[in-house]
Amino acid sequence: MSSWVKATKINQKTHRERHQPEERKKLGLLEKKQDYKVRADHFNKKKKTLKILKKKALEKNVDEFHTHMINSKLVDGEHFDTNKPENEDSEEQKLLMDTQDMKYIASRRIIEKRKIDKIKSQNHMIDAANQIENTHVFFVEDETEAKQFDLVKRLDTLPELLHRRTNRLKVEHIKEMNLPLPSKRMRLVKEKQVNKLSKRIEREKNLSVIERKLFVNKFLNEKPKMVKAGTPSSAPVYQWKFERKENWFNTSLEQNDRNYIDPIKKLDTYK
């Protein structure tokens, strides 16, 4: 029957809703029935949701247990979330510990260590002297001179060389020298080497932490006491129960005494 109804509607004129008249164009588009239906459904859905929430709020038991109570506390009538403990392993450490063994981690750490030493030997640790934390004290006569104190004039050098702790040239020496200016390419190469070195040091440190964690996990079957929890930058610290070991030297002597046969007694037995 429905197929006949559809067939009769083939030649039926499609119903078109009128658009917004020109004199009311400033008010925007004219709302059609399908637009009203979407808006009405959305309104009824919100109304139903609010009704359910109000009912839950009226029927709520304050003393009823819920899982969020474990990680929160009530202070002066306000809820505060407690700080969650830091994860012992980072995402990278979990991935390596689940997929690789201790021998592979140790080999990768040794490779990273050798690469770090190679980069340091290439750079010759030029800036090592500038990283030494020491102080240089200058004495003045009074507070007025201290306020007017100019470090560049006192050291007779350029402001660009103040950060140096060694080989700080004076102005008169710089005028006599004819040095080429450092190129932009050399500066970029140096920055690239420094970034590369810092990343490899961080990777080597991370691998050493993973290696220690895997080494500790081998002995956790004895259920030791945890002294310090582990973090992404350090392995956990455990304390095992002390067990007195049997003296190997004395036991070996006793076994040798049991196995020893006196040759004279042995001859007596054959008589």
What is the per-residue pLDDT across 62-117, written as a single tens digit (0 to 9) for each? Answer: 778 888 788 888 788 787 888 776 667 777 777 777 777 788 888 888 888 888 88
Those residues whose C-beta lies under 8 Å from the C-beta of residue 185, and which sit 6 or more positions away, are: none
Q: Are 112 and 208 in contact (CB under 8 A)?
A: no
Q: What is the pLDDT of residue 264?
A: 46
Arithmetic mean of pLDDT over the chain: 76
pLDDT at 253 over 50: no
In the predicted model, what is the mean pLDDT of residues 125-136?
Answer: 57
Q: Which residue has the higher pLDDT, 175 or 260?
A: 175
Q: What contacts 235, CB < 8 A, 6 or more positions away?
A: 209, 212, 213, 216
pLDDT value for 6: 80
pLDDT at 263 over 50: no
Mean pLDDT, residues 188-192:
81
Residue 29 pLDDT exceeds 50: yes
- Count CB-CB contacts under 10 A for residue 163: 9
- The helix (H) or strand (E) run that includes residue 75 is strand 72-75
Q: Would you say residue 267 has pLDDT above 50?
A: no
Least confident of 24-38, 122-136, 234-248: 122-136
Q: DSSP class of residue 202?
A: H
Question: Which two tokens mark 131?
Answer: 């990283």
Structure tokens, 92:
């990278």
pLDDT value, residue 217: 77
Average pLDDT of the segment spanning 231-238: 79
| HSE-CB for 182 with a 13 A CA cutoff | 6
* More confident of the two residues 89 and 25: 25
Residue 177 has pLDDT above 80, yes or no: no
239 phi, psi to nearest 5 deg: -125, 120
